Structure 1
C-alpha cells in the first residue's frame, strides 16, 4: 500500500528535528516538514488551512472550536511550553513597581487571543489582583504597523479593547509612554536595545516563575499540533501514527540533551540547568499526552473562557483526536 504524503508546518525545534531529518518516520506516512516561523505557520493555517498538519497556538485552536464544522483536530503534543512572566514589560515612568500596579493601566498586546497573553492575564487575575476587565487593552503591530489578526473573536462589552493607529507600533508606544505596559511573546525592540524607558514588570523573572511553578505545578502549554479536519476524517489512523512519531522524536531530543561529550546548544551551563529543571519540575517536565497535562489544560481553558475567548468552558479531553488518547496494551 502506498504511503500517505502529508505536509507538516512547524518551528525549528530539537523535539521535532528527528521528523524533519527522517530518523523518525510516522507509520504509513511520508512527511514533508516545512520549517517556518511560528507566526507564519499560525497565520497561514488559521486563515487558509494550507497544511495537512501544523503547529498551532493553543488559544487559536480553542478559538477555532467555535466554527462548525471544526476545521482542525489536535494531538496532545505540546511543541512549545514556556513560563511567561518575562513577557510583561512596562514603561519606566508608568508607576508600576509590582504586577499589582497594572490594575487600571493601558496594556498593549499584539492580539488579545495570543496564548502567552491568555496565560499572563489569568495569572495576573488569579495571583496578583488584576482582573481581566480592570485594564484597557490596545492591539496592533508590535514592530511593524498594521498587524492583521489571525482570527476574529466576539468579546464581551465589559472589555475595553482598542486598535492602535495604523501608523503606530506597540514597541514605540511603550517606549514613549503612550501605553503603560506590553504583554507579548517576543521581546520588544526597545528592551533589546537597552532603552532605559522600558523594563520588565517582574525584575527577577526566573525567581517569579519558579515560585509560580512551586505554587501551582503548572508549566504553561503554548502550542499544540493540529490535523486538518478533512485529513482526519478520511484517515483516522493518522492521529495515532503522528502522535507516536512526535513522542519518539521528543524523547530522543530529551535523551540527547544529557549528552555531556559536547554541548548541543550555545549555553555554557546547559547540563546543570537541565539537572536543575529535572529537580524542580520532574524528569518528564515536557510531557505529552492528556493525563499528565490535564490540570494545566484545565487552567488554560478556564482562563480562555473567563477572558471571553470561548463561548463555553471546554474540557481537556474535548480538544484532542480520540485516537491519540488511546494506545494498544502491550
Structure 2
C-alpha cells in the first residue's frame, strides 16, 4: 500500500486521521510533524516536499499563479475571524490609517493579512493603496513581488514594539503589551458579520502534488469522515480549546467546517477578489481551475 507523505496540524477535525481511527482506501497517510506549520507551507510551495499538505489559501492562490505543480482539494481545515487581528496602541482609528505605516506579520500574502486588509477596505473604507505595509518576513512563494507600497521591516525591528512606540499606526497578526484590537468589540463585530453577511473566512485548505490528483476523491473522503466525527462530538468535548469554542459558537449559526466548493463559494470568491484588489494576483482564476476535477461536486 502506498504511503503518502502528509503534513497537517493536529486539531479536532484531523484527529481521527492522526490517531488512525479513520484511514483512506487504497493508500495511507504518513504524517510528518512540523512544529511551525508555516515552515511546511514554504517547503510545499518551493519544493513540493509533501504528497499531501495543509496550506494557507492565499499561499495556494499565489503558488498556482506562479505555476507550482500542486492542486487544491476543497477541504477547508481552518477558519477564523480577523477583525481582531488588526491591533494598535490605542491612539489610532481605522479611518486614520491612510498615509501611515502598518505592520504585517510575515509576508504580504499571509492569508490573515489578506482578510484583515479586506475588512479594512470593505467595512471601514480604508484605501489600501494609501497605506505603507511593513513586512516582518518573506513570502512563501519566492517568485512573488509585492506592490510598491509594501516594504520590509528594518533588520532587528519588532512590529509590536514599533506599534507601541507609534512608529507604526497598527499591525496585523501581532500581540504585545498595551496592544488592543483596532476594531472595538472585535469578536462580537465578527460574529455579527457572520450572522448578517455570512462572512466566515477560510484560512487553510489541502493540496496534493499534481501527479496525485487522481487520489483526490479518496483523500477528500477521509478528511470528510474525520471532520464529521469531530463536529459530532464537538458539543461534548470536556476540555475545549479556543478553536473548539469558536466552532461551537459558529455551529449555532451554520456548519462550522463546511467542505466542498458549493457551500464555500461565496468565501472563495471573496478571497480571490481580495487577492486581485490587493495585487497578489494579476488576474482572476476560475474557481473550477483551482481544485481537482474529481472534487468539484463533493461536499461534506
Q: Give the TM-score, by structure 1 length.
A: 0.84
**How do 1:111-260 and structure 2 match up within 5 A?**
111-140=107-136, 147-151=137-141, 152-156=143-147, 159-184=148-173, 187-188=174-175, 190=176, 195-196=177-178, 198-232=179-213, 236=214, 238-259=215-236
Superposition CA RMSD, Å: 2.0
Deviation at 1:17, TM superposition (A): 0.8
Give the length in aligned residue pairs: 295
d(CA) in 1 for partners of 2:102, 2:69: 32
d(CA) in 2 for partners of 1:81, 1:178: 31
d(CA) in 2 for partners of 1:226, 1:276: 28
Match of 1:265 in 2: 240
Match of 1:144 in 2: none
d(CA) in 1 for partners of 2:7, 2:72: 14
Q: Secondary structure at the match of 1:288?
A: coil
- Of the two, which has the highest radius of gyration? 1
Q: Which runs of 5+ in 2 are unaligned?
A: none
What are the Cα deviations for residues 152-178 of structure 1, in whole angstroms up to 9, with x where unaligned?
42344xx41111111212222222222
The alpha-carbon distance between structure 1 residues 172 and 35, as it changes in their structure 2 partners (threshold 3 A), is: same
d(CA) in 1 for partners of 2:247, 2:129: 38
d(CA) in 1 for partners of 2:276, 2:247: 34
Q: Which runs of 5+ in 1 are unaligned?
A: 141-146
Match of 2:69 in 1: 71
Note if 1:103 corresponds to 2:98.
yes
What are the Cα deviations for residues 23-53 of structure 1, in whole angstroms up to 9, with x where unaligned?
1111111111223332121122122221111
Match of 2:289 in 1: 318
Q: Give the TM-score, by structure 2 length.
A: 0.91
Q: Secondary structure at the match of 1:224?
A: strand
Match of 1:80 in 2: 78
Match of 1:288 in 2: 259
